[in-house]
Structure 1
């Protein structure tokens, strides 16, 4: 009888020791899984969007030493905008200045630069802007302010790469929205020195105004490359110039 009692007691003690030993392991496994899921979510939101303020700003907004900007012509303008939480890197050490920028990304940057409130904008009416997309509120805010338009088929084409012509039109509308006069009385005169001015599809007035206000310069002394896709560096420099104009007006 005593032997049976001691045997059962010994088995109980061994079982308790095993459970005690496993608890930290299981707890660590749960923590590791949670951390991995959090990291995956953060990376997904912040690597390329450049706009999700809930994650991207807190991760990259104070980075000033992007390795791919060390000797880049847009370095100072990019770093200034980063310090103002207007633009971010694509990682902790990279800005990707020569990467193209999408219409949705640029819409979000303009909304930030102007300080527009996303929450006050009505829902987007564009057929290709889902309500749960990261850019939905910023596209709606920019569209509501008359800064960015869609296409005749009621699409916005958020993932399309923005052209220099579109970029010029958007920043001019941004200044117009801020009651800063940009109108050029003779667009043809302002564009006459550019041999490819005939390649401008629809934004002759806006490009002329952007050149006249110093927001846009030619790709060379006599070319504009209006149909070329704008890079992140070019977008940053143009936004910095917009920001400078707005700052001077607000003083």
Structure 2
């Protein structure tokens, strides 16, 4: 029976996916999405990472080893299978598949899913299959029950914390990205696109997160309420359906439109625009002042409305110059640059708001 089930599964997967190499995409636990692929939830981003796999049963305290073909079968299915976020699921018991890498092990329990970490105290966050995918995974339980050569042992594998943060390729940005993620400053939608130019909407989302975390409020809307401010949705003609952080930051005086009633949410952000927004965000919490004289070779290219902001972010190490002692005020701002500088601003404010 076991051999027949294995052949059926293998043929279905081969037909559907043609056994092409599949890689999962990383995520982080700072801002967990509602759903993701099972491979992402397991935190295994290439089938080649798996060095060993077992199927075990918690109540029986027994397990058996999977063959390399069985491991590949499961991983290809996991890449295409969607799992959904759930809190405090069925207790971790019953049959599980345990995937080992050189440094780690993760388990998917048929009844409970894969545990990502804790939410608050003793509130488990898991990702679990649903519908036809959930029914499909019962084959793991069938495989276990069909084996007569199970060995004693195999402990339960669960997480109390985890972080599958995908770091940028640029070495200079990795520590800053890791630091921003650890402080809850990194929105999920910005991970995995670090070298791309950040849009004006995305920068608003990032600054909104910065203000929320710095203030200790539940979200940006709560921060606005605490300040006694109000905001209007669709403050700009081209922002219908866009993130409401645009409207909230506009109400706080942190962002402005293009001057024709539009905000240009999908447009790119220049370095001098970023400097201005970082400075006005800082003014929500501290008085800013600087006597710093700029020595950038292209300081005459900095717009008058942004000049003081560039002075301030430079003086306080929030932003730095580029190559050849130039600030490049009109150059595009990348996602990784934005995240790193938001993290620097948070650290600056955190030191002064104790």
Q: Deviation of residue 184 (structure 1)? A: 2.9
Question: Alignment partner of 2:323: what SS?
Answer: coil
1:68-107 CA-to-partner distances (Å, cap 9, x unmatched) read 44x621111111222333214559xx62321110111011
Matched, 1:75 2:174: yes
Q: 1:205 aligns with which of 308, 324, 342?
A: 308
1:127-186 CA-to-partner distances (Å, cap 9, x unmatched) read 1111x32x1x111111111111112112111111111100000011111111x222335x
Indicate if the aligned counterparts of 2:275 and 2:310 stay in contact, CA closer than 8 A. yes
Question: Larger % of helix: which?
Answer: 1
Question: Alignment partner of 2:255: what SS?
Answer: coil
The equivalent residue for 1:95 is 192
Q: 1:183 aligns with which of 289, 314, 332?
A: 289
Indicate if the aligned counterparts of 1:100 and 1:231 stay in contact, CA closer than 8 A. yes
Q: Which runs of 5+ in 1 are unaligned?
A: 1-42, 48-52
Matched, 1:147 2:275: no
Q: 1:66 aligns with which of 158, 166, 179?
A: 166
Question: Alignment partner of 2:319: what SS?
Answer: coil
Q: Which one scores higher on RCO, CA 8 angstroms, separation ≥ 6?
A: 1
Q: Which runs of 5+ in 2 are unaligned?
A: 1-24, 42-115, 117-161, 213-218
Indicate if the aligned counterparts of 2:211 and 2:220 stay in contact, CA closer than 8 A. no
Q: Give the TM-score normalised by the residue count of structure 2.
A: 0.48
The equivalent residue for 1:244 is 347
Q: Give the TM-score normalised by the residue count of structure 1.
A: 0.66
User: RMSD of the TM alignment (CA)?
Assistant: 3.2
Question: Alignment partner of 2:171: what SS?
Answer: coil
Q: Determine the C-alpha separation between the residues in 2 that align with 1:211 and 1:144.
A: 26
Change (3 A) 1:57 1:244: farther
Question: Larger % of strand: which?
Answer: 2
Q: 1:105 aligns with which of 191, 195, 202?
A: 202
The equivalent residue for 2:104 is none
Count of residues in Structure 1 that have an aligned counterpart in Structure 2: 192
Indicate if the aligned counterparts of 1:88 and 1:95 stay in contact, CA closer than 8 A. no
Q: Determine the C-alpha separation between the residues in 1 that align with 2:268 and 2:34.
A: 21
Matched, 1:122 2:231: yes
The equivalent residue for 1:50 is none
Q: Deviation of residue 57 (structure 1)? A: 11
Change (3 A) 1:100 1:63: farther
